[in-house]
Structure 1
């Protein structure tokens, strides 16, 4: 069917579930730290606006956290069902790293989440703030171990090969593998930026309804400060990550740049637009700026980097997919930087909260950070192909014995179930977002009138409301 086999369907299934799942951990990481900042500001200043915003966003955090857990459980099972050779050969390293994530981050989050969601009126303010801090730290620890595992697959280090299995040789080298520090900083900043633009979009929605809304003004102000600070840092971090990729995964970088071959003395052009043609090994309809890529990759006017034709054809990734996903990520990053600059200019002019065009633009751009995250993951994961463990284990050698029919059935099941979960989750979040940020809450804090057995009970709202 369409030239696809069972392995192609297994790859698509994992890509689909990961792309769906990553949105919610990113939202949880960013929101947990935002909630920590809001509660700290409330305790320091006594300003009830910060307290109202905390109670507003904690409901959305509860939904995101619950959806993240639900959507993430199935991925671990796929290692065994669809990628058993990878699980057998790499499990002594990746399995242990995921176990560390459960033993540290998951237990920490589980231990303090209930206090954070339901304990505001049951414990002292310092204890409740401690719980919020522990949940925020837990999300960062979780991101650490997940990115250690994935980064090791991108740039393996510290391993030994024993009877065809990759076993630990040096855990420090495994954990601090060459790409991990760059990818960790890049991902955490992406989560913070994504949440800041979500907050800006929600603020824009409420300010269009009431330009005097103090809570919405505070949200937009904080979001624009985060944008103007974090996005430039992200650009620098992304550049450093790109240089690291050029050193350790040069064929991925060549695909990202659409760089097919070097011409002596011509440098590397920046390809603004083009249609990569893998059959003809060129970019069709290319719009290029000569030598610019040489400047930011080699800091030289005529510097060269390895091109796609320097590598065997069977080691190329899907060049059009990597090329365009990278440009989606970078393009959205530039739009977010421009929005931060314009927003703070309007702040300086005293018009940040009363410019309808900007407020509508903030609403339109609110999902941009999450789209950029998905595009970034497509770039890094598709760019690693044809390897599961880069340079060591090919994707075609890592799968289970799969039948085409079983993969079709499971893929359809995942598509249907995830579509339903995603639709309900987004609808529920939008319903919560429409509520006034400083609206009334039941006495006792989120979830007081419910039996606190699950994160969703902290939202109070029913889908029937």
Structure 2
């Protein structure tokens, strides 16, 4: 039995739905784990209680995000077998070991030290506790390494040969450090720190707008904005390098992102806005800037970029989607730079904690990290189509022999369950953020003990 086109589309929608729910939690966890490690290190070095207060508070948020990330990630591993058995059979000899390495190195490291990090404040020495916190933070980064290695191999595969109906690894170094891996790893890791930084800044802004001026609120607001000032321009530079790499190895993706149909000689214009039409093979209502595409993507005045018409129709990504998902990502990225630069100017004038318009701006930008992250992944994954392993295996050949009805029913169940479970989790996270760090003089939660990660959070969902 072969799957129908409808079953393929539904399987893609289902995986996109589940992975979109999943990615927001690890991204927050990656950034928060390192932030918590910095806070605890600052507390050990200075002895200032404010750092420990912040460490305890953000550990609660991390615990909830980490728990939901683990649960949502388990589902996707089953989807590889139920909906994408063709891919698992073909690429399993490479993707299977890479994901196994992630579990054996990163997940075991995180799980092994998470309990000490959350509940060991009064059980182990300060240095031992700080070591556990560092191990959790390092574990999240190692996890990022292996997941991006696997996904990057699907984007720019190398180091293998095909025997029969599956791939055989030939050079694991080439497989892991494939051409797009360094750029995509740096782009994702920085994105995770920016996601966490925006959440921390937005939380600080919320409490400043509500009248809190205690040291914990000011400190986390200030630290988050310093982080954004450093990382947002760096992310733009990394993204530029990633774009040049993508032009070299996935030229059809770049053409789709730019809504570019013709290969222009003597310099390529950049379509700032427009409506790519896949049937008419044109970008309607395009607002273009001559030569800007060449300057950005080739760093030259007259660099040539291949248009979509130079690729067979069956090999073209959907430009209508990636054209706008990329612009959402890039547009919000510019706003993040504006936010961090505005914070720097206000800091110099001594008005960082008193400017209400800026605090509203920071609060509004809180969710932008998640939106940008999702838009970026839509761009890279839809831009890879119609390939699941670029140039090697088509997505249509990767899907399991399932019917549209089977996939549709499971998708409906996922939507209901995810909305209830993770909707409740997100609501609880927002309640925690609204509650904020402990007020000066309140009871210290460091004495709280529990046996489960989510029990590190002491507020009830009703009273938070």
- Name the TM tier (shorter chain): over 0.9
The 5 Å alignment of 1:10-25 reads: 10-25=11-26
The 5 Å alignment of 1:34-45 reads: 34-45=35-46
1:210 Cα deviation (Å)? 2.2
Q: Per the alignment, do residues 387 and 124 of structure 1 end up closer, same or farther by CA in structure 2, a change over 3 Å counting?
A: same
1:419 corresponding residue in structure 2: 419
2:340 corresponding residue in structure 1: 340
1:261 corresponding residue in structure 2: 262
Deviations along 1:158-189, one digit per CA (max 9) or x if unpaired, are: 01111221111000001101111100000000
2:297 corresponding residue in structure 1: 297
The 5 Å alignment of 1:422-461 reads: 422-439=422-439, 445=446, 447-448=448-449, 451-452=450-451, 454-461=452-459
Q: TM-score under structure 2 normalisation?
A: 0.97
1:4 Cα deviation (Å)? 6.5
Alpha-carbon distance in structure 2 between the residues aligned to 1:441 and 1:91? 53
2:461 corresponding residue in structure 1: 463
- 3-state SS in 1 of match to 2:321: helix
- Does residue 78 (structure 1) correspond to residue 79 (structure 2)? The answer is yes
Deviations along 1:276-302, one digit per CA (max 9) or x if unpaired, are: 011111111111111111111112212
CA contact (8 A) 1:446 1:458 kept: no
1:103 corresponding residue in structure 2: 104
- Does residue 240 (structure 1) correspond to residue 241 (structure 2)? The answer is yes
Alpha-carbon distance in structure 2 between the residues aligned to 1:146 and 1:328? 24
- 3-state SS in 2 of match to 1:114: helix
- 3-state SS in 1 of match to 2:21: helix
Identify the range of structure 1 (354-363 vs 203-212) with the bigger mean alpha-carbon deviation. 203-212
Q: Per the alignment, do residues 4 and 50 of structure 1 end up closer, same or farther by CA in structure 2, a change over 3 Å counting?
A: same
Identify the range of structure 1 (174-183 vs 209-218) with the bigger mean alpha-carbon deviation. 209-218
Alpha-carbon distance in structure 1 between the residues aligned to 2:402 and 2:204? 48
1:441 Cα deviation (Å)? 6.8
Alpha-carbon distance in structure 2 between the residues aligned to 1:103 and 1:143? 13
Identify the range of structure 1 (429-438 vs 190-199) with the bigger mean alpha-carbon deviation. 429-438
Alpha-carbon distance in structure 2 between the residues aligned to 1:348 and 1:142? 38
CA contact (8 A) 2:56 2:445 kept: no
1:399 corresponding residue in structure 2: 399
Unaligned runs of 5+ in 2: none
CA contact (8 A) 2:272 2:287 kept: yes
The 5 Å alignment of 1:354-433 reads: 354-433=354-433
Alpha-carbon distance in structure 2 between the residues aligned to 1:229 and 1:124? 33
Alpha-carbon distance in structure 2 between the residues aligned to 1:193 and 1:139? 15
Q: CA RMSD in A?
A: 1.3
- 3-state SS in 2 of match to 1:391: coil
- Does residue 283 (structure 1) correspond to residue 283 (structure 2)? The answer is yes
1:51 Cα deviation (Å)? 0.8
1:80 Cα deviation (Å)? 0.6
CA contact (8 A) 1:215 1:437 kept: yes
1:447 Cα deviation (Å)? 4.0
The 5 Å alignment of 1:64-213 reads: 64-213=65-214
1:57 corresponding residue in structure 2: 58
1:421 Cα deviation (Å)? 1.9
Alpha-carbon distance in structure 1 between the residues aligned to 2:253 and 2:311? 11
1:117 Cα deviation (Å)? 0.5
Unaligned runs of 5+ in 1: none
CA contact (8 A) 1:206 1:213 kept: no
1:414 Cα deviation (Å)? 0.6
- 3-state SS in 1 of match to 2:446: coil
Alpha-carbon distance in structure 1 between the residues aligned to 2:435 and 2:260? 49
Identify the range of structure 1 (454-463 vs 148-157) with the bigger mean alpha-carbon deviation. 454-463
Q: Per the alignment, do residues 316 and 443 of structure 1 end up closer, same or farther by CA in structure 2, a change over 3 Å counting?
A: same
- 3-state SS in 1 of match to 2:276: strand
Q: Per the alignment, do residues 75 and 447 of structure 1 end up closer, same or farther by CA in structure 2, a change over 3 Å counting?
A: farther
Alpha-carbon distance in structure 2 between the residues aligned to 1:297 and 1:410? 41
CA contact (8 A) 1:112 1:135 kept: yes
Number of matched pairs? 459
- 3-state SS in 1 of match to 2:400: coil
Deviations along 1:335-385, one digit per CA (max 9) or x if unpaired, are: 000000001100001001001111011111001111100000000000000
- 3-state SS in 1 of match to 2:217: helix
